[in-house]
Amino acid sequence: MFIDKAEIYIQSGKGGDGAVHFRREKYIPRGGPDGGDGGKGGHVVLEVNPHLNTLYNFRYQKRFIAKDGNHGGGKKMTGRSASDLIIPVPAGTVVYDRDTDEVLGDLVENGSRLVVAFGGRGGRGNARFANSIRQTPRLAERGEPGQERFLRLELKLLADIGIVGVPNAGKSTLLAAVTNAKPKIAAYPFTTLEPNLGVVELDRETTLVLADIPGLIEGAHQGVGLGHDFLRHIQRTHVLIHILDGLAEDPVLDFFQINSELALFDPDLADKPQIIAYNKMDINHVQESWKEIKKELKKRLKQDQSLNIDDHLFAISAATGKDVRPLLYRAAQLLAEIPIQTKVLEQPIYRVEADPNQFRIERLSDGWRVIGESIERSAAMTYWEHYQSVNRFQRILEAIGIDQALRNAGIQEGDTVFIGDYELEWQD
């Protein structure tokens, strides 16, 4: 089954906790603090796997959680860092943040990697807090929490040649005739419900990857028919073979209507080299109409002075293979003439827009809530059972300005303050 869209939940690993530990050995009095740091949590990484061509693996597995780092130990032993969680995806996968719709990455090359969630750093052990004044610190950090987010994955097929046209024009028949692909073929509209890929070897030096795109109709760029779901697959192709149905009521009108839909979806599609293939020439009626159709196409296309129309018009029979090979060689020639540059979606440039210590205070019916990335992370990394760690957190509140801000807001003795997942009682 071809799946080209998926939504998944990812969570990177939490850093391991730093240890509060003191060296105790015979004949070594006052061994001092020797608590080690925690290990790093695992990243979540998307990696292109050349053996995949669909997002089918995400149909059932939608949650991916990396492992946490190990805790630090005595003798200044650092906890083991967790391995990264590698999620294989097919080439051509575009990665979006589901909630913000930002493009996080566009993976088009085999082996390409994208870190979509960074593992938390390990907390520092108490050996890191020792100094000449504080020689026995009962102070350490818990590991930094991991990141979590929802992703939307969209696949855009990577192919040299895209085969487009109205439903039942013979696109799948052509693909099946020239490659080992086995698309479903029948004589009714919308036979093809999913894109199909095939590889054709014209000779020892010429190999083409063809993509059969499901039939397009008027309004496809707005989601009518099957077009909206599959138009994006054409964006990756470099040359288009436009199949005209010789039995259609008005093949020329179909041709311009499909081109209009391509341009409305993405203006760049209008600039792609395009070959016109008038199909079903094994039928007498189609053979008789070809001269008139060719004349009409040349008349309508003559405005494009850069286009040698005769080199872009072919009459074929996909069912019998008549003149299919010259069509493919012409497509290969066009492919060789253009610079191959896979269009990669522009990724956002992240800039520091605000102080990382920025926060805001909300008045609740049962207390106060302090909201801020930095202070919430500090709360999660505090050992609340050790008074020195609590004192350190209090100093952070004062340094950032949260302490004074709460006083200015009117906090009273005994009020509850919520920071992240923690509830604190205010005391002067």
User: Does residue 351 lie in a domain region?
Assistant: no
Where is pLDDT greater, at 125 or 208?
125
Q: Are residues 314 and 203 in the same domain?
A: yes
Domain identity same for 44 and 168 = no
Q: Do residues 196 and 142 both lie within one domain?
A: no
> Which residue spans within 246-376 are E strands per DSSP?
274-279, 313-315, 360-364, 367-371
Together in a domain, 9 and 145: yes
Query: What CATH number is attached to the domain comprising 129?
Result: 2.70.210.12
Domain contains 353: no
Please identify, among 156, 184, 212, the residue that sits at the C-terminal boundary of a domain: 156
> Are 310 and 182 found together in one domain?
yes
Same domain, 264 and 314: yes
E strands present in 273-366:
274-279, 313-315, 360-364
User: Structural domain of residue 12, as residue ranges?
Assistant: 1-156
- Is residue 139, in this structure, part of any structural domain at all? yes
Q: State yes or no: pLDDT of 219 exceeds 70.
A: no
Query: Residue 273: inside a domain, yes or no?
Result: yes
pLDDT over 60 at 363, yes or no: yes
Q: What pTM value is reported for the model?
A: 0.71
**How many residues can be counted in the chain?**
428
> Could you tell me if 170 and 220 lie in one domain?
yes
Alpha carbons 157 and 212: distance in angstroms, whole number: 10
Same structural domain, 228 and 329:
yes
pLDDT in tens, 6-38: 999 999 999 999 999 998 887 777 778 999 999
Whether 218 and 239 have beta carbons less than 8 Å apart is answered as no
CATH number of the CATH domain containing 251: 3.40.50.300
pLDDT surpassing 70 at residue 178: yes
Element (H, E) at 55: none
Tell me, yes or no, whether 350 lies in a domain. Answer: no
Tell me how far apart the alpha carbons of residues 29 and 55 are, in angstroms, rounded to a whole number. Answer: 61
Are residues 102 and 182 both part of a single domain?
Answer: no
Say whether pLDDT at 369 is over 90: yes
* Tokens 């994955």 -> residue: 153
Domain identity same for 234 and 306? yes
The answer to whether residue 347 is domain-embedded is: no
User: Quick one: 73 and 51 in the same domain?
Assistant: yes
Nearest CA among 352, 242, 349, 363 for reference residue 297: 242
Four-point Cα dihedral 372, 377, 380, 382, nearest 10: -110
- % pLDDT > 70, the chain: 85
- Across the chain, mean pLDDT equals 84
CA distance 256 to 297: 10
Domain shared by 171 and 97, yes or no: no
Contact 175, 156 (CB under 8 A): no
Query: Does any domain span residue 59?
Result: yes
Q: Is the per-residue pLDDT at 151 higher than 90?
A: yes
